[in-house]
Structure 1
Amino acid sequence: MQHDEDPIRYPYRRVADQDASHPVRHPVVVAGAGLVGLVTALDLAGRGVPVVVLDAGEGVSAGSRAMCFARRSLEILGRLGCAEAAVAAGIPWHAGRVHHGPDVICGVEHGPEAGQRRPAFLNLPQAQLEAILVARLRALADAGAPVSLRGANRIIAVGTHPDHVRLEVETPEGPYSLHADWLVACDGANSSVRRMMALGFPGRGYEDAFLIADVAMDSDAPAERMFWFDPPFNPGRSALLHRQPGNLWRIDLQIGADADAAAELAPDRVLPRLRAMLGGQARFTVESLAIYRFHCRRMERFVHGRVLFAGDAAHQVSPFGARGANSGIQDADNLGWKLAAVIAGAAPELLESYNWERGLAAEENIQAAARASDFITPRSDASRAFRDAVLTLAGRHPFAREMVNTGRMAEPCTYDDGPLNGPDAAGLPGRTRPGAAAVDVPCAGGWLLDRLPQGFALLAIDADAPEAGLPVLRLGSAGHGALAAAWTGAGGGVVALLRPDGHVAARWHTAAGTPTPGDIAAALATAGGTS
C-alpha cells in the first residue's frame, strides 16, 4: 500500500481497478474513512478479510467532532493495536463537576480508576484518533494485510443485487465501477449510501443551537468534565468545558433556538462570549468554531441485504454523554467478526443478530440522550420548573443530585435476551452475564482481555473445561480478588463461552456441575460459531 509520510493525509492515487475491462469484485468495501469506517476495516483486516475503504476526502476529519472515548472503546482499540498510542496522546479523566449559576452543586464520578487498565474516559480529538487508526491500517497493509484506503473516491451510485453490490465511484480522473460482496456504509449522519438507497432516518430534532469552540489556552484547570446550568457568563442556558491534549479546550455554549449561525460565528459575537466564560485575563486562540443543532434518530434496520449500516449512518444521538462515536466503534466491533464468519461460510442470518443487538444499543443511547436533552434544554414550562427545582435542591440534598442529568456517560450495551445468548447460571456476578462485554481484570500473567484467544474461546476460572474443540484460557482466582469479584462471585468455578468480540455468550457455575461437550456445542451453535 503506497502512502505519504503525512499521518493525516491519504491523497488520491490511481488504482488497477480503474483500468480493468470489467468491474473488479472485492469481498468487502467500506464507505467512509471516519472513526467507524477505519475501525471496521482494521477489524476485518485483522481477521484476514480483504477490505477496500473508499473515502470522498483525502485526509482525516477537521474541525470540532467527537473527542471523548469510553473505556470499552479503548478496550476495542487495544485489540486492534491502537489503544496505547491513543492513551499516550490523550487526556484521561474520570470525574466531573456540575455548576448551577456560580455555585458547584455536585461532583460526579464516571467510573472507578483503581484496578483498571484503561481510563474511564479519554479526551482526544477525533482527527488525532483517526490519524492513529490510519497509521495502524498502513502498518497492516505494509505487512501484507489485505486492506487499502482510497482517498478522493466518492461513491455516486449503489446498485443492490442478491449476491453483490455494484458501486459507481467518482475520482479526480473520472468514474469507475466495482463490485462488492458486502458494502458497509460508515459514511456519517448524512450518509450518501442511505440516501441513494432511499432509506428513511426517522427521529426527533432539537431546536436549540449550540456553539462549539476549540480554544488553545494555557490553564492549570483539572482534566475533568465541567458543566454549567444558568452560568453568569451564559444566563438561562448551559455550558460545557473539556480539556483536550496540547492545551486545547472544548467549549459547548447553548445559544438558543433562534440563533443565526452566520451571526453567531462572527468574531464580534464569539470573542465576548468566550471572554465572559474564560475570564478577562485569559489569553486564548480560537482554533475552530461550529454551530450545531442535534437529532436523536435511527434507521429502522441496519441490515439491508448486502448493505450494512454502522455509526452515524445508522443512528444519531445528541452529544450529551459521548454516546455517538463510542456507539459507532462498538457497532464495528459487533459487526466485524460476524461479517468475517459469514464470508467464511456461516449462515448470512448471523448478520440479523447485528441488526438486533446494535438496534438495542441504539435505542438505549437514543433514550438516554433524549432524557439528557430534555433536562438540559426543557421543551415546556413544566419541564423547566422541574429541572430548576432539581438543581436548587441538589446543592443541599444528596437525593436530588441523582436526578441531575448532564448526559449519562457512555456505557457498553448488554444484550440481555439477545438471539446469540446461551444458558446462564444463578448466583454469578451480573456484570459478566450472557450478552455483557467481558470485564477486563488483572490476572496471572497480565490482563484478561490480552490473554483471551482470538475467536470463540472458553474461559475456565477455578474449573476444568471439557474438551470441546475450542481454545481454553484457564485461570485461578486465588490472589486475584478482581477476577473473582467479576466472574465467580462468592465462590465455586465458572466456565464461560466468549464470542470473538469479547462478549459473554454463555456461562456455567461448576457448583451445579461442569458443562458437557454437548452443552458447549449447543451454546456455540446458538452464538453463531461452529459446533
Structure 2
Amino acid sequence: MNTRKILYQYGYRRCLDQDRSSPARHPVVVVGAGPVGLCTAIDLAQRGVPVVLLDDADRIGEGSRGICYAKRTLEILDRLGAADPCLEKGVTWKIGKVFQRNDLLYAFDLLPEDGHKMPAFINLQQYYLEHALVERAAALPNLEIRWRNKVVGLKHRNDGATLTVETPEGRYDLDADWVVAADGARSALRGMLGLPFQGEAFEDRFLIADVKMKGDFPPERWFWFDPPFHEGHSALLHKQPDDVWRIDLQLGRDADAKAEQMPERVIPRLRQMLGHDDFSLEWVSVYTFQCRRLERFVHGRVVFVGDAAHQVSPFGARGANSGIQDAENLAWKLAFVLKGEAPESLIASYDLERSAAADENIGHSTRSTDFIAPRSAQELRFRDATLALARHAPFAKRMVNSGRLSMPSTYDSPLSTPDTDRWSGSAHLGAPLPDAPMRDHSGQPIWLLDAIGGEETILHVQNEAQPPVGSRVLIIGKDLVDEHGFFTQRFDAHPGSTYLVRPDQHLAARWRHAAPSLIEEASRRLRGFGEGHA
C-alpha cells in the first residue's frame, strides 16, 4: 500500500549519444539515481571527472523508505554541497530510549560532547534527501542525469564495459571506462553478471508505516520490547518532518505480508499503539530482510556500491549510511586513477575496505536481529534475562541490542601508514577525522572538515621547525587556530605533530615529528604505490 503522491518528476530527454553511429565513450557511468548513486556521481563530478548517471525511473516520492542519516553521512553530504536543505528540513535527534513493556530500561545520548558541526542524526524522508542531491547534481556542469534510461545489457571489455540502454525511443549502446552499479537491492547489473549474494535471510516480518498526526512524542528514538499495545513483539517510533511518524511493528514469521498491509489490519494496530485514531496513513509496507553481500565488490571495470553490493536489516540505520560511505570511499580513488595519479590497483582497496565495513555492518545487524527477534528458545531466554538484568545492572544495559546505530568504519588498510608513536584522543588511524571548531588566518570561524574539504591534506601543528612541504599543508596555529582546544584534545596534538589526511577525510598517517621522506612515502602509500599493493 502506498498513499504517498509523487513529489518530484523528471522528464525523459533524448541525448546526443542516441544519435551516434557508434557508442559514445564516457569515463564513468553510474547506474541508479538513489542516494548512493547520486553521491557517487556528485563526488566524482566535484573532483573534475565527467559522469553520466542513468536511472530507469523518472520520479521521486514513492514512500519515505530510509529516514535516519548519521553524523558521518551528514559530513559527507556537507562536502558534496547537499547538507543544508537536509538539515533545514530534517528532525535532529541524539537521544534514544529503550522500554520493556511500559518501563524505561535506559536512555542513551549519541553525541554528548560539543564542538561538532553536524548533529548525531537527522530523520528525513528519503525523497527529500534524493531531491536535494538531484538539485546539487543539476548544478554541476560535468554531470548528466538521464531519466528513463534503463540498462538492459552489460558486456565486459579489458578497458571498460559496454552498456545497452533502453529508453522510450529505443535502445542505444554506451561505452564506459568504469561502471558504478548503484542500482539497489534488486540490482539488474548484478543479475547480468550472475553474481550471487552470500549471507542469510531472516524469516520474521515487520510492518513499517508512516503515519501523519499531531503527536506529543519528543524527537527521540523509542524502542519497545514486548509493549502492552503489541504484546510479544517489538515496536519502534521515530519522528520525521511534516508531522509524519515512522512506526515499525514486529509481526512474526507467519504473518501474511499482503493481508497485513490492508488498512483494516493496519489501522487497529496503530490505534492500539497511539491510543487514538486521529492519524492518516502516508505509506505502509511489510518487509523481511537479509544480511548478505557480494563476495567481491569489484568485477573488472564494474564496481558495486550500496544495496547492490550488500544488504542489512534496517535496525541501526546501516543501509543508506554505509552505502553513502561506499560512494565516498570509491569516488576519490576512481578520480585518482582516471587522472593518472594512482595505479588502477588502487580500486582493489575499495573492495578491501568496504567489504570489511560490510562485514562489520552485517555482524552488528545480525546480532541486533537475533536479539530483537530470537529464533530459538535459548536466544529468547538470553534476551529476556538480559532485559531483566538491565533494569538494575549497568553492564546488562550494554548487552541490550535494539539496533547498534550506524558508525563510520575504521579501515585496517594498506593505504594507512602504521603508527610508530603512542596516541590518545578520538582521532584514530584509518577512521574519519573528528571535526573541531577553528578560526582561519583572518580570525573567521571555520570547521576543521570544511577547511580540509576533499583533498589530500597535511595538518601540521606549528613549532620552531620548518613546516612540511606538500601539495596542500594546513598549519595549526597559523592557517587554523584551535581556539577552544578541541583539536588538541581530539588529535592528541603537540607542537610538531603532523597528520596526513586522505581525500575522504580518513586519517592515513601521523607522526610526532615527521621527516619529509616519511610524509612522501605515506602519500605514495595512500595512492596505492606503497607496501601491500600490487
Residues 73-121 of structure 1: per-residue CA shift (max 9 Å, x gap): 0000110111111100100100111110121111122222522211100
User: Equivalent residue for 1:502?
Assistant: 505
- Which of 165, 175, 181 aligns to 1:179? It is 175
Secondary structure in 1 matching 2:524: helix
Is 1:488 equivalent to 2:498 in the alignment?
Answer: no
Query: 1:114-513 maps to which residues of 2 (within 5 A)?
Result: 114-140=114-140, 145-280=141-276, 282-345=277-340, 346-416=342-412, 418-429=413-424, 431-445=426-440, 446-452=446-452, 454-463=454-463, 466-476=467-477, 479-488=483-492, 491-509=494-512
Displacement, 1:175?
0.9
Preserved CA contact (<8 Å) 1:444 1:475: no
User: Equivalent residue for 1:14?
Assistant: 14
**Letter in structure 2 aligned against 1:194:** R
Preserved CA contact (<8 Å) 1:75 1:118: yes
Residues 435-488 of structure 1: per-residue CA shift (max 9 Å, x gap): 111111111231101111542110012445644332111113664321111112
Displacement, 1:492?
4.3
Preserved CA contact (<8 Å) 2:425 2:489: no
What are the ranges of 5 or more consecutive residues in structure 1 without an aligned counterpart? 1-5
Preserved CA contact (<8 Å) 2:499 2:507: yes
Partners of 1:150 and 1:110 in 2: how far apart?
Answer: 39
Displacement, 1:61?
4.9
Partners of 1:257 and 1:378 in 2: how far apart?
Answer: 11
Partners of 1:187 and 1:111 in 2: how far apart?
Answer: 33
Residues 255-305 of structure 1: per-residue CA shift (max 9 Å, x gap): 11011111111111111000001113x410000000100100010111111
Change over 3 Å in CA distance of 1:283–1:465 after alignment to 2:
farther
Larger deviation, residues 449-458 vs 387-396: 449-458
Aligned length, in residue pairs:
515
Partners of 1:139 and 1:111 in 2: how far apart?
Answer: 33
User: Equivalent residue for 1:41?
Assistant: 41
**Letter in structure 1 aligned against 2:345:** E
Displacement, 1:213?
0.3
Tell me how large the CA RMSD over aligned residues is.
Answer: 1.6
Preserved CA contact (<8 Å) 1:453 1:471: no
**Letter in structure 1 aligned against 2:228:** P
Task: Quote the sequence identity (%).
Answer: 51
**Letter in structure 2 aligned against 1:524:** S
User: Equivalent residue for 1:519?
Assistant: 518
Preserved CA contact (<8 Å) 2:211 2:246: yes
Could you state the TM-score of these two structures normalised by the residue count of structure 1? 0.94
Residues 137-196 of structure 1: per-residue CA shift (max 9 Å, x gap): 1122xxxx2111011100001000100201011111111111111000000011000000
User: Equivalent residue for 2:443?
Assistant: none
User: Equivalent residue for 1:3?
Assistant: none
**Letter in structure 1 aligned against 2:507:** V
Preserved CA contact (<8 Å) 1:238 1:376: yes
Preserved CA contact (<8 Å) 1:458 1:465: no
**Letter in structure 2 aligned against 1:516:** A
Partners of 1:65 and 1:409 in 2: how far apart?
Answer: 17
Partners of 2:409 and 2:529 in 1: how far apart?
Answer: 25
Secondary structure in 2 matching 1:228: strand
Secondary structure in 2 matching 1:122: strand
What are the ranges of 5 or more consecutive residues in structure 2 without an aligned counterpart? 1-5, 441-445
Is 1:72 equivalent to 2:75 in the alignment?
Answer: no
Displacement, 1:399?
2.1
**Letter in structure 1 aligned against 2:387:** L
Partners of 1:309 and 1:432 in 2: how far apart?
Answer: 29
Secondary structure in 1 matching 2:415: coil
Could you state the TM-score of these two structures normalised by the residue count of structure 2? 0.94
Larger deviation, residues 406-415 vs 426-435: 426-435
Secondary structure in 2 matching 1:432: coil
Is 1:105 equivalent to 2:100 in the alignment?
Answer: no
Partners of 2:188 and 2:250 in 1: how far apart?
Answer: 30
Change over 3 Å in CA distance of 1:396–1:351 after alignment to 2:
same
**Letter in structure 2 aligned against 1:486:** R
Secondary structure in 1 matching 2:254: coil
Partners of 1:239 and 1:110 in 2: how far apart?
Answer: 20
Displacement, 1:36?
0.2
Secondary structure in 2 matching 1:358: helix
Partners of 2:392 and 2:273 in 1: how far apart?
Answer: 25
Preserved CA contact (<8 Å) 1:64 1:213: no
Partners of 1:453 and 1:44 in 2: how far apart?
Answer: 14
